[in-house]
């Protein structure tokens, strides 16, 4: 059974939901005192330009109590977990942790995870890679692959290594759903 099956077949777990709500309620109380909307997290966010993620806005909305709306928003899935917001915040806050809490809350309430993420997980489970090596376009708009540039073939995990990776990922997923 894949992680996608596990998450899509999962029923909302009230206990997990309560735990996450507790975290978010804590955040709601803490965030207003510390986040002063300087915007440093958003100005350095790797997902801002292309994916329109604004961690400072997420903090402002969390601060105002719009937890349900944030949890149902697709934008929370665009975070790349680069951790720059955590590094840049002058107030030692971590918008990335707020985003993680929201994603956990979203999954535990039965919402389907974003298809891009589930495709990536499927690919990791079946091949050990986020995606297969792709042909890219050069400056003359011609397709170039690894072989054309003299790069060796991408190393692939053995069946044994793949089985170990699958077991570990499933264990992590099951622990998260507990």
Among residue numbers 86 through 145, which ones bind ligand SF4 (CB under 6 A)? Answer: 88-89, 91, 93, 95-96, 99
C-beta closer to ligand SF4: residue 64 or 167:
64
Interacting residue with ligand SF4 among 17, 28, 40, 146 (CB under 6 A): 40
Stretch that binds ligand SF4, among 6-14, 44-52, 66-74, 118-126 (CB under 6 A): 44-52
Residues 6+ apart with CB under 8 A from 75: 51, 52, 53, 58
Residues in 62-81 at the binding interface with ligand SF4, rule: CB under 6 A:
79-81
**Helices (H), ranges, 36-152:** 40-43, 48-51, 55-64, 67-71, 84-88, 95-108, 115-127
Between the alpha carbon of residue 85 and those of residues 15, 38, 162, the distances in Å are 30, 12, 33
The nearer residue to ligand SF4, 102 or 121, going by C-beta atoms, is 102
Using CB under 6 A, list all residues that contact ligand SF4.
35-41, 44-47, 53, 55-56, 59, 79-85, 88-89, 91, 93, 95-96, 99
């Amino acid at each position: 059974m894949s992680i996608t099956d596990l998450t899509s077949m999962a029923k909302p777990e009230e206990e997990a939901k309560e735990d996450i709500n507790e975290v978010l309620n804590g955040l709601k109380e803490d965030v207003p005192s510390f986040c002063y909307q300087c915007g440093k997290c958003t100005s350095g966010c790797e997902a801002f330009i292309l994916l329109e993620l604004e961690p400072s806005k997420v903090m402002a909305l969390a601060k105002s109590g719009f937890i349900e709306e944030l949890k149902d928003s697709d934008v929370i899935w665009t975070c790349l977990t680069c951790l720059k917001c955590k590094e840049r915040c002058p107030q030692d806050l971590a918008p990335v942790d707020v985003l993680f809490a929201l994603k956990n809350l979203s999954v535990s309430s039965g919402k389907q995870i974003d298809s891009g993420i589930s495709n990536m997980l499927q690919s990791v489970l079946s091949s050990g890679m986020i995606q297969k090596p792709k042909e890219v376009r050069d400056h003359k708009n011609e397709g170039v692959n690894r072989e054309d540039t003299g790069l060796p073939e991408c190393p692939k995990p053995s069946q044994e290594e793949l089985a170990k990776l699958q077991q570990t990922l499933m264990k992590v997923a099951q622990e998260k759903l507990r």
